[in-house]
Amino acid sequence: MPNIANYISTDRASGAWARINDKPTSILIVRKDVNLAAQTVRLEFDNTTSEVTGQGNTIASVQRARVFGVRAHATIAATDIKKGDRFSAHGVIWRVISVIPQTGEIQALCEVSA
């Protein structure tokens, strides 16, 4: 008897990989001072920014983005991303603030302060 959960996961992973390849970005994640291998993901920027007050009453803007990766794909390695990871993309350093594993894909909410 076929395992429907495996079929659904693989099918969704294939769809996630297709969406990633519509707008791919290669990132190098740094986790606890260890560089991981390059990974291909989709990076989508949030349309909003907010301001935060830092030490000495300095004000910085915060830009957010979402990383879309793949999980449980038949031939593609799963995206390895965790809360607290850092990576460089588009000339800035991003920090992962939360990770949302889903069937066939993984999403990570990231932010950068400028």
* Strand residue runs (E) in the chain: 24-27, 29-31, 34-35, 39-53, 59-70, 86-89, 92-102, 105-113
In total, how many domains does the chain have?
1
Residue 9: both structure tokens together: 């996961």
Q: 2, 3, 40, 39: which is closest to 22 by C-alpha? A: 40
Q: Domain with 80 in it: what CATH number?
A: 2.40.10
What residue numbers bound the domain in which 21 lies?
4-113
pLDDT, tens only, 23-65: 999 999 999 999 999 999 999 998 776 766 767 777 767 789 9
pLDDT, tens only, 58-87: 776 778 999 999 998 889 999 999 999 999
Residue 19: both structure tokens together: 């969406």
